Structure formats: C-alpha cells, structure tokens
Structure 1
Amino acid sequence: MRNAGGRALRGAGSCCGDYLADNDALNETEEPVSEEPANEELKTEGLETEELKTEGLETEELETEGLETEELETEGLETEELKTEGLETEELETEGLETEELKTEGLETEELETEGLETEELETEGLETEELKTEGLETEELETEGLETEELKTEGLETE
C-alpha cells in the first residue's frame, strides 16, 4: 500500500513492502516530471488574447493587424495615390488640373471655341460671312450696303 506521499507503507507485508520500496527507489532516480508548461507554452504564458493573435506574425502582418478593410486598401499607398483613393472616375479626370483647365473641363467643343473670347468677339461668334459684313454698320451705311454703283448714284435723289 502507498500513503498520500507515494511512499510504501512498511509492515503491509514483507514481500509486497519490499517490492514497493524497490519501486519507489526506481522512481526517485528518474528525472522528476516538470509541472511547468513546455517551452512553446511558456512563450505565450500570461499573454492577453490580443497579444496571442499577433504572436509569431511578421512585421508586415503586424502593421496591418486590426485595420479595417478600407484602411488595408490604402495601406502603403503614396500620398499622391491616397489623394485619388476612392474618387469617382469623373473626379479623377479633373484631379490635379489647373484652375484654367477645370473651367473648360467637360465643355462641349462649341463652348470651348467661345471660351475666353471678349464680349465683342462673342457677338460676332457664329455669324455668317454676310452678317459679319454688316455687323456694326450705321443705319445709313446699311441702306446702301450691297447696292450696285448705278443704284448708288440714284439713291437719295428726289423724283424729278
């Protein structure tokens, strides 16, 4: 028989007692079994759950650990890239254009032709050649505009 300490009880019987005593002697010569956790367990012993999640991750992985999907998309992008990140196609087209360029961005060809013209130029913009000839002429000049030489001679004469 054994007591709580694992020692053989003497007097339990001569042959049994000797056997148990010999068995105890063998157990004492073996290396004691460690109650401590193995090396792997020691590494993570006392770490918080959060720390355990990142245990053994590379630096690169640790940098993105816990980032939202949106943050991961912009992770490692240059400043220039971040400026355009998430912009619509239309916004990207005007991204980085000068103020002057933005004014004409999206204008039709016709609008671009008149872009930056003075008021006077805009008044004659799109007029036919014939109209341009009379543009800005006084009433008197318009009356004689396009008359033949013969007609001009008689123009303004009273009926005789």
Structure 2
Amino acid sequence: MANKSETKLIQPLFDNLQKERFAVFATIDFETGAPNVSAVSWVFAPDEERVYLAVDNRSRIVKNVKKHPAAALTLLANESTYTINGNAHIKEEKLESVPLKLALIELVISEVRDVMFYGSKISAEPAYEKTYDEKAAAKLDGQVLEAMKKA
C-alpha cells in the first residue's frame, strides 16, 4: 500500500511545528553530492506551505542549501513518521535579536509524505535535554522562536 502524499502540511504537522522539536534535515553535500543528514530542533512552520529552520550560519547545512536547494525534513508526529520535501534557501543570513549567529532557512514544501512502515505507529516521540544552563537554554529558545515568527 502506498503511503499518503500531500502538497502542504496537514493540521497535526502544522500544530507540531509551532514549537521547538527534534527533527532531521537532509541536504545534498556541496562538496561530495552525497546525502548530508543533521539533527535540528529550531523548526517552525509559519504556514502550511513553508517550514523555517534556524541553524548556526557556519553550519554545513548553509553551504549545502546555497549550492543544492533540494532538501527534506523528517519528523515524528501524529503517531507516525513524515518527510517534508521541498526546495530550501537562506531567507536571512543572520536572525535579528538572537545573540548567536543563526541563519534562517526557508523550506518551501513540494510534498509531505507519511513514510511510516506498514502496520505500525510511533508510541513515544524522542525526548532530549539541553546540556547547558537550563535558564540560558530556555531564554535562547524563546529568542529564536520569536525571531522565526517575525521573519
């Protein structure tokens, strides 16, 4: 049975992309042409047709997106696994009002696909902890999300 495909975010995915969460971002490596996969957490959907990601502007992701716009974001949500495919570009070289030098990447969605293997569901989503000062992490996370919302 083929997995269902959409051209924009379904409501549960849009809702899940209103806050920081664990996701995996795949790009094409600018040097080798091979897949490059990175874990990300600063993700936000401003609407059903786009997803923003904030990454260190020295990240390999930035160089990859500049050379090859094709990209995919994979996340666990709504008891399943979804891959969001599209073309990415650098929307802002540096997010304003954030103390770190973060680039804002915009992924324009071309396809959203439920890629969970047949006859199963996600029973627990991944959890992670910040390994640096909790208050500083919460403050930074808030600053990044607000900057992404304003972009």
TM over 0.5: no
Comparing both structures, which one devotes a greater share of its residues to helix? 1
With normalisation by structure 2, the TM-score equals: 0.16
Which structure would you say has the larger Rg? 1
More strand by share: 2
So what's the TM-score if we normalise by structure 1?
0.15
Higher relative contact order (CA closer than 8 Å, sequence separation 6+) = 2
